[in-house]
Amino acid sequence: MKHLNVVAAIIFYENQILAVQRGKTKFEYTSYKYEFPGGKVEAQETEIEALKREIQEELKIDIIVKEKFLTVNHKYTDFEITMHSYICNVKTSDLTLTEHIAYKWLLKTELNTLDWAKADIPIVEKLVK
């Protein structure tokens, strides 16, 4: 089974957290789900370098990486991932979507209102505690 090593940014602006929505993917179980933005860690890249690169590519914003939050191991039907999440801040809520179809800035108490990708749910659960 294919294994992916990925990073995810839990981006705070003031007291809100960014959630981004995927479009149609090759797997129905990940299509249109909300997630924390991020992506694959490339060879010769640290997790933080990958995170900054992915967020710049996907959202056209610069993040300030604060601390590691949670590592999630999740097996989907067709692949498995190890996702390293980090608490991040931004200086503006303005962003440009290049890969996602929608985004929302939400209070912690609102996170459970979205249809999250399965791998992101443990992060949501820890954030809302």
Q: In this structure, what are the phi and psi dihedrals at residue 35, rounded to the nearest 5 degrees?
A: -155, 170
The domain spanning residue 113 has which CATH number? 3.90.79.10
Residue 15's pLDDT is 96
Residue 70's pLDDT is 98
CB atoms within 10 A of CB 33: 18
What's the pTM value of the predicted model, to 2 decimals?
0.96
Any alpha helices (H) in the chain, and if so which ranges? Answer: 47-59, 121-128
**What domain count does the chain have?**
1
Residue 72's pLDDT is 98
Give the tens place of pLDDT for each residue, 66-90: 999 999 999 999 999 999 999 999 9
Domain that holds residue 74: 2-128
Residue 123's pLDDT is 98
Residue stretches of the chain with pLDDT short of 50:
none
Residue 82 near residue 5, CB atoms below 8 Å: yes
* 57 vs 52: CA distance, rounded Å: 9
